[in-house]
Structure 1
Amino acid sequence: MTAPLDLTLTGARVLRPDGWSDAPLAICDGHIAESAGRAVDLTGYEVLPGIVDPHGDGFERHMAPRRGALRERDAGMVACAAELAANGITTAMLAQFWSWEGGMRGPEFAEEVFAAVAAVAPTVPVDLRLQLRLETHYLESFARAEAAVDRWGITQVVFNDHLPHDRLAEGRRPPRLTGQALKSGRNPEAHLALMMRLHAAASDVPHALDALCARLAAKGVAMGSHDDRTPEGRAAWRARSVRLSEFPETMEAARAAREGGDGVVLGAPNVVRGASHAGNIAASEIIAAGFCDALASDYHYPSPARAALRLVELDILDMPSAWHLVSTGPARLLALHDRGQLAPGKRADLIVVDRESHRIVATLAGGQVAWMSGPVAARFLG
């Protein structure tokens, strides 16, 4: 990578911890500084903290652009880093499934993703991090998943349960079984038999989770639960030291998380769309109630920046408060205290936005250029 820039940004409106400011912003040695070198006139632009994305799986399209046809893992991750930067994301938690569902959600694919991130992360400005999304009923793979956490230095594990328990309990075939089976590389009968076996072992799950969570907590691995629906369910996870609630599906679950001191992550695409694609509560309602700590890209990297603007348009939050949900808030949840704000000593993670179009035109990560496009480039090169 190139050396960090040594610059003073002038003329722009800058979003600092205490609000908007017209004062110059200095960058030196990869950090926000009190003073720095050559001045760059950014009149007509805004400068905001870089986006910290606490959960996103949009990298899948780069890692496997066509099932069974192309395997360019490292190149795909490089392309992903460029897409992240183009959307203002300077720190990305790459959420990779570890699931009985197989295919792009199976352990084999996950290990390829982890290897690609290990190879590419040191070579790009954007900070690429790993989240392992473990299926709660995939007990036979817990040991392998834990070994992957150790091997790749994974700092976060989030628990999911995608088994259609109601259908399986009634002995009915789940919807879309054939298509899901084909993606997993199994025939439909074998796929259904696996699902039935995992469902039948449900009574073994709580004890296995208790033991696994205790081991992960002892290693300092942060943990979260996915799609909480009830206060009781959130309390059960909290008892296991699982202190992050990702995408709670009800107001009650979100409130229970906040009252219990847990972090709450919601989906930015939900805010942009105006509703959950799965028919659950709208994220904007939970945000308006004050129960959200961070917004995540989920499956669409442009959405965090768009969601912040949408919250302002809907008069739910002002811009500093809305941007907090994609910068300072997620940085705190991830215990990344060196970023998320444009303050002296913090990492120089920032984006430059055209004030008229609201388009991101430049992204700096750790003081290095991660993305730049259009007329603003002449300002930096001049």
Structure 2
Amino acid sequence: MIERRLVGARVLRDSGWSDAPVTVAGGHLSDAPARDVDLSGFDLLPGIVDVHGDGFERHMAPRRGALRERDAGMWAVTSELAACGITTAVLAQFWSWEGGMRGPEFAEEVFESVSLVRGTVPVDLRLQLRLETHYLESFDRALEAVDRWGIGYVVFNDHLPHKRLAEGRKPQRLVGQALKSGRNPEAHLALMQGLHAASDQVPAALDGLCGQLAERGVRMGSHDDRTAEGRAEWRGRGVDVSEFPETVEAAQAAREAGDPVVLGAPNVVRGASHAGNVSALELVEAGLCDALASDYHYPSPARAAWRCVELGLLDEAAAWGLVSSGPARVLGLSDRGRIAEGLRADLVVMEPQTRRIVATIAGGQVAWMSGAVAGRFLA
């Protein structure tokens, strides 16, 4: 761990920019005496807390069917996270009937690799299990995974094409999805039809599972909420985080009930949803966002925060709060997300002109450093 007093930088605190020095000692922000590092000309911001990201997949399975790099891939992930200013990362892994990289077997590889790497790198790696609601036969196995790997966040998805299945039509992109799952198209279709046919068993099964997760203190969220009624149903099970709501109605219902709303940073950067849903920018402007997540692209949180500033939607402190203090609150992490004495030393050093991240300190350790700023620390 480093022990340094960082001076000369503009420092982004809750109330805005400050020129007061920031001291890192013992892994925390401190007032202890330490050697000065002159960061004049740079900005100092809280480390990014990424509440939901699956960009790690391309490191662990860079080419489907050709190469799997479990542990080495996770090491590479931590380097990319740090280079993007992410000091706390929730790795969102599917647990789905879809199979392949979304199946339980691959999920267990991810969880095991995180358990081996966690604690040996500065970035705080955490796990999210994304459970398919109709995958009833795997609920017990998923609960065992939660216990075994200490998973603290479970999110519920439903990727079944119910409308087409109810109409007796083949789902779109059936062949491609079947190939990814390792099944032939006929077997994949039969699986989906069977899961859809058992839909009446799902509510009771979810009630029971959510009760067991709540007893374990697991945070729970729902993915792709579309209606106020659907959000209320999830809330009744103790599932209070609304991840990536697809409509203003669902996001507004979450806000009125005090449920945190998580949106995708790539959606903000693009200016629109790639799936044709409500724009995250629209929800940010309406005040219906508590946190921006990397989703599938780790550079996006920092870029999205500044995009909100450039468009005049938020000031700099509020915009950066959507990727730092906001997601920390969603996760119940009161020890990070802000620059204040006594908190975990998670910091990002940025060039103000280019807004390029040149150094990241996570838990008081150097996680990433590049260019001229390195000379400041080594001087």
Q: Same fold by TM (over 0.5)?
A: yes
| TM-score calculated relative to the size of structure 2 | 0.99
Q: 1:71 aligns with which of 35, 56, 68?
A: 68
2:243/2:262 contact within 8 Å kept? yes
User: Is residue 242 from structure 1 mapped to residue 239 from structure 2 by the alignment?
Assistant: yes
Report the equivalent of 1:87.
Answer: 84
Give, in whole Å, the separation in 2 of the partners of 1:139 and 1:265.
Answer: 26
Q: 1:43 aligns with which of 40, 43, 49?
A: 40
- The 3-state SS of whatever aligns with 1:8 is strand
Deviation at 1:291, TM superposition (A): 1.2
Report the equivalent of 2:143.
Answer: 146
Report the equivalent of 2:18.
Answer: 21
Give, in whole Å, the separation in 1 of the partners of 2:68 and 2:52.
Answer: 24
Q: 2:165 aligns with which of 163, 168, 179?
A: 168
- Structure 1 segments, 4+ long, off by >4 Å, are none
Q: Deviations over 1:80-108 (max 9, x none)?
A: 00000000000000000000000000000
1:96/1:130 contact within 8 Å kept? yes
Give, in whole Å, the separation in 2 of the partners of 1:271 and 1:17.
Answer: 22
Q: Deviations over 1:326-364 (max 9, x none)?
A: 000000110111000110000000100001111000000
Q: How does 1:117-196 map to 2 (within 5 A)?
A: 117-196=114-193
Q: How does 1:338-349 map to 2 (within 5 A)?
A: 338-349=335-346
Deviation at 1:18, TM superposition (A): 2.1
Matched letter for residue 133 of structure 2: T
Q: How does 1:225-374 map to 2 (within 5 A)?
A: 225-374=222-371
2:16/2:316 contact within 8 Å kept? no
Give, in whole Å, the separation in 1 of the partners of 2:218 and 2:287.
Answer: 27
Report the equivalent of 1:205.
Answer: 202
Give, in whole Å, the separation in 1 of the partners of 2:120 and 2:26.
Answer: 17
1:244/1:262 contact within 8 Å kept? yes
Q: Deviations over 1:273-310 (max 9, x none)?
A: 00000000110111111111000000000000000000
- The 3-state SS of whatever aligns with 2:332 is coil
- The 3-state SS of whatever aligns with 2:118 is helix
Give, in whole Å, the separation in 2 of the partners of 1:216 and 1:98.
Answer: 15
Deviation at 1:122, TM superposition (A): 1.3
Indicate the RMSD between aligned Cα atoms, in angstroms: 0.6
Matched letter for residue 233 of structure 1: G
Q: 1:58 aligns with which of 52, 55, 60?
A: 55
2:45/2:339 contact within 8 Å kept? yes
Q: Deviations over 1:151-189 (max 9, x none)?
A: 000000000000000010011111111011011000000
Give, in whole Å, the separation in 2 of the partners of 1:91 and 1:283.
Answer: 22
| TM-score calculated relative to the size of structure 1 | 0.99
Matched letter for residue 13 of structure 1: R
Q: Deviations over 1:205-225 (max 9, x none)?
A: 000000000110011001000
Deviation at 1:35, TM superposition (A): 3.5
